[in-house]
């Protein structure tokens, strides 16, 4: 089995998890979510590198740098999901299998959250299951990459 390296990207305001609107986003911190992802990756015989940024350009640069280093991307682009053509274009440019995840169900929230620029260039999207969205997204991505190889 080939080793898999997955890039996990967290967009703006996700550094505030655990403090920010816990009724919507849950009570776990980003560090706790990353720890759970690392544990799940280990069970799946994969490794992850996680990055959170509030800056669109940092996320775009990191996606570009993923080429040749990572086999796939797991992304919660936060608010950039609904606004960033730049992130969409970066994902399309590197052509790495990408899974979009959201803690909340974006389709049960404000209408502006119903549109995703990421989903058309992702292999799938998982939303509404809290931290499980991340774990399910990682499982789906690893399964997809293994089936593909």
Tens digit of each residue's pLDDT (9 = 90 or more) over 82-141: 999 999 999 999 999 999 999 999 988 889 889 999 999 999 999 999 999 999 999 999
35 annotated to a ligand binding site? no
Any known ligand binding at 82?
yes
84 is in an annotated binding site: no
* Distance of alpha carbon 44 from alpha carbon 50, whole angstroms: 16
* Cβ pair 142, 46 in contact under 8 A: yes
**Catalytic: which of 25, 80, 117, 134?**
25
| 95 assigned to a ligand binding site | no
Q: What is the pLDDT of residues 41-89, one digit of tens each?
A: 999 999 999 999 999 999 999 999 999 999 999 999 999 999 999 999 9
76 near 129, Cβ under 8 Å? no
- Cβ atoms of residues 119 and 137 within 8 Å: no
Cβ-based neighbours of 98, under 8 Å, separated by 6 or more: 72, 73, 74, 75, 91, 118, 121, 122, 123, 141
Query: What is the structure's pLDDT at 110?
Result: 83
Query: Which one is catalytic: 10, 102, 117, 134?
Result: 102
- Contact (Cβ atoms closer than 8 angstroms) between residue 73 and residue 98: yes
- DSSP bridge partners of 72: 6
Is residue 57 exposed (0-12), middle (13-18) or buried (19+ Cβ within 10 Å)? exposed
89 is annotated as contributing to ligand binding: yes
Reply yes or no on whether 70 is catalytic.
no
Please indicate whether residue 25 is annotated as part of the active site. Answer: yes
pTM, to two decimals: 0.95
What CATH superfamily is the domain 4-148?
Answer: Dehydroquinase, class II (3.40.50.9100)
């Amino acid at each position: 089995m080939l080793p898999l390296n997955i890039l996990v990207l967290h967009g703006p305001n996700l550094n505030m998890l655990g403090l920010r609107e816990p009724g919507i986003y849950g009570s776990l911190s980003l560090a706790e979510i990353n720890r759970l992802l690392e544990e799940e990756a280990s069970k799946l015989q994969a490794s992850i590198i996680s990055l959170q940024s509030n800056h669109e350009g940092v996320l775009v640069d990191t996606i570009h740098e993923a080429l040749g280093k990572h086999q796939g991307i797991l992304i919660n682009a936060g608010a950039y999901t609904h606004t960033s053509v730049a992130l969409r274009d970066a994902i399309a440019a590197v052509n790495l299998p990408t899974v979009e995840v959201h803690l909340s169900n974006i389709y049960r929230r404000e209408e502006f959250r119903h549109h995703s620029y990421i989903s058309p260039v992702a292999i799938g999207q998982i939303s509404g299951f809290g931290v499980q969205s991340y774990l399910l997204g990682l499982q789906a991505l690893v399964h997809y990459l293994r089936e593909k190889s």
